[in-house]
Amino acid sequence: MSVSSRELKILKSNGVLQKQVSLAGYTTWRVGGPAEWLAEPNDPDQIAALLHWAADADLPVRVIGAGSNLLIADAGLPGLTLCLRRLQGSDVNANTGRIRALSGEAIPTLARHAAKQGLQGLEWAVGIPGTVGGAAVMNAGAQGGCIAEHLLSVDVIDLNAEDMAIRRIERDALDYAYRHSALQQKTTVVVAADFQLEPGHDPAELQRRTSGNLSHRTSTQPYKQPSCGSVFRNPEPEKAGRLIEGLGLKGRRIGGAQVSEMHANFIVNTGAARADDIRRLIQLVQQEVANAHGIELHPEVKRLGFESAA
């Protein structure tokens, strides 16, 4: 299947496909250069059409969601950047506890909706600044909970498949672990996900618990400054933030990037940071912790475009 010039014209005219768009506004760090092509589809059929067009044009494809947990190089990204944040919607069954959500649905929105329906299981997720698709890929988690605990399956499009058809992958085939899934190694686009929560709980109590979790996160983490959330995975049984803080690195800066003075496992954009400032500060923190403790900190952050940087 190829995309006709008429279909391509429609995608451009309705704003789904644009050329040379700055990606700084598409990441929570507010940094990053331009996308050669940026697409924001709002239905799965548009995704398939865009992927066929990119394949015909021999363009590399990168997929982003809400832009949290993501660092995009200052030089930008060649090819097609597929942003799925407009692909929103969910179907919540309060009787069975089943939820089906499109990949661009915001995790906090889904958590609040579930709580209102008396479905237990996502109260921890209200402070996660990401989308369903990104959370499924990264196995996002907080406060002892994670996406893998309640995910049943994901629907994906394989970039290497000629038909670009939507296929389902069951949870058992996703090799979930701490901040890891097999989706991180697959050339797939997550279109939707299915979850199983526990029905029959008191909505008021779940909403109280959900609001409490959000209040705790906003009072202990620098939500008023651009960041990506936690930068490093915890090297269990140690905590990355404690190791960094113990070395006196809170407040350390490179350019406009700073190790947060509120929570040491956050790097914030103080207003004029470049992606390379953040990259260098990540490396500095890693080196300091390795020198002091012999521990290698692994970033949770997905980095795009640095392999082509000079």
Rounded mean pLDDT of the chain? 92
The domain boundary residue, chosen from 83, 112, 144 = 83
Whether 259 and 166 map to the same domain: the answer is no
Tens-place pLDDT, residues 208-229 = 999 998 888 888 888 889 999 8
CATH of the domain at 304: 3.90.78.10
Q: Which of 85, 100, 112, 179 is catalytic?
A: 179
Which residue is catalytic, options 40, 105, 123, 300? 300
Length of the chain: 310
Residue 160 has pLDDT above 90, yes or no: no
* Residues 62-112 pLDDT 10s: 999 999 889 999 999 999 999 999 999 999 999 999 999 999 999 999 999
Q: Is 245 a catalytic residue?
A: no
Domain shared by 215 and 226, yes or no: no
Final residue in a domain of this structure, among 28, 52, 83:
83
300 is catalytic: yes
Catalytic residue among 103, 153, 181, 230: 230
- Closest to 157 (Cα-Cα) out of 129, 193, 190: 190
Residue 200 has pLDDT above 60, yes or no: yes
- Residues whose CB falls within 8 Å of the CB of residue 220, separated by 6 or more in sequence, listed in order: 262, 263
Strands 253-254 and 166-170: unpaired
Expressed as residue numbers, the domain containing 20 is 5-83
Whole-model pTM: value is 0.89
- Identify whether 167 is a catalytic site residue: no
119 contacts 201 by C-beta, under 8 angstroms: yes
* Paired sense of beta strands 151-158 and 188-196, if any: antiparallel
| Same domain as 121, residue 60 | no
Q: Please identify, among 167, 195, 219, the residue that sits at the C-terminal boundary of a domain.
A: 219
Number of domains into which the chain is organized: 3
Is the domain of 106 the same as that of 203? yes
